[in-house]
Structure 1
Amino acid sequence: MQSIEIKAIEHKDFEVWLPLWKAYQQFYEVEIPETVTLQTWERFLNTGEPMHAALAMLGEQAVGFVHTIFHRSTWTASDDCYLQDLFVAADGRGKGIGRALIEHVYADARSRGVSRVYWLTHETNHNARQLYDRVAERSGFIHYRNVFS
């Protein structure tokens, strides 16, 4: 099997990232407006933004991505890292790609002096949760939200 390379996204990667982003939305049965997608992409590329993205590559093929947001915390002196999105294409699952993406986030967070990485997943995402239970601990917190139009 080819080795997995995790790389920070670049301007030229939009065309390989976009199909994965759309597949991610299909997985969660959501449709993010194109304007938001384009704004998100620009934020990833803006060094002044706290948002970052990386691609998992098998050879020349992008097979997954991870998106992170670094932010202040009232609980620690250092920043926190929110792993907002993690996705591996269906044909890449079970090959260590998700773990490699998470380990990339952990390494990036450590290099920035961040004290913790956290994320959410849907309770029905059983396959991903098997991995998450091996690489992190559940906090016990329940997620609430209110969406404003």
Structure 2
Amino acid sequence: MADTAALTLRPLRPDDRPQWAALWAGYLDFYETSVPAGVEDSTFARLLGDDPRDFSALVAEMGGQLVGLAHYLFHRNAWAVEDVCYLQDLFVAPDRRGTGIARALIEAVYGAADTAGAPGVYWLTAEDNVVARRLYDRIGTLTPFRVYERR
């Protein structure tokens, strides 16, 4: 594990757009997907918005460069009084993986959830994302549920 002493975790800012966009593109490439035109603009605006139904974003910064991102949102849950937190996107620059950045981002989302009174945090990952799953197995609990989506 590399030294993360120089790591800063902070909310996304409007002037982060170029570096955030590069990380976002890397995230989409990692999952071999793309989004329709306009989604990047909409997503960035939502991440910076004040609407509590919209997303929040944390970025990891080292030496003035963004090296990771976490997008999350809070929503109601029929099985609890408190909201829950969905960590929708987590990405670390390939040259910074294995340095503790992903763990730090997840723990920061845990902190944001606790502050918001939403102690439950969940996320999804691809079955074949074995490197990330090793971390997730240490800091989370694998559930027995499968995800389905509309055809």
Aligned partner (choices 29, 32, 49) of residue 46 of structure 1: 49
Does residue 97 in structure 1 map to residue 108 in structure 2? no
The structure 1 residue matched to 2:34, chosen from 31, 36, 58, is 31
CA distance in 1, matches of 2:119, 2:125: 21
Residue ranges of structure 1 left out of the alignment (5+ in a row)? none
Aligned residues: 147
1:55 counterpart residue number = 59
| SS of alignment partner, residue 44 of structure 1 | helix
Contact map agreement 1:65 1:87 (CA 8 A) in 2: yes
Identical aligned residues as a percent: 43
1:127 to 121, 124, 131: 131
* Amino acid corresponding to residue 134 of structure 1 in structure 2: R
User: Considering only aligned residues, what root-mean-square deviation do their CA atoms show, in Å?
Assistant: 1.0
TM-score, structure 1 length as denominator?
0.95
User: Following the alignment from structure 1 to structure 2, what is the Cα–Cα distance between the partners of residues 33 and 135?
Assistant: 33
Contact 2:67 2:96 (C-alpha < 8 Å) held by counterparts: yes
Where has structure 1 moved over 4 Å in runs of 4 or more? none
For structure 2, the 5+ residue unaligned runs are none
State whether structure 2 residue 12 is matched by structure 1 residue 9. Answer: yes
Q: Given that residues 66 and 87 in structure 1 are in contact (C-alpha distance below 8 angstroms), is that contact kept between their aligned partners in structure 2?
A: yes
1:76-127 CA-to-partner distances (Å, cap 9, x unmatched) read 1010100000000110000000000000000000000003000000000000
One-letter identity of the residue aligned with 2:36: P
> What letter matches 1:16 in structure 2?
Q
Q: In the aligned structure 2, how far is the partner of 1:136 from the partner of 1:49?
A: 25
The answer as to whether partners of 2:110 and 2:119 remain within 8 angstroms in 1 is: no
**With structure 2 as the length reference, what TM-score do the two structures score?**
0.94
Partner of residue 72 from structure 1, selected from 76, 85, 96? 76
Decide which of 20, 23, 35 is 1:20's aligned counterpart.
23
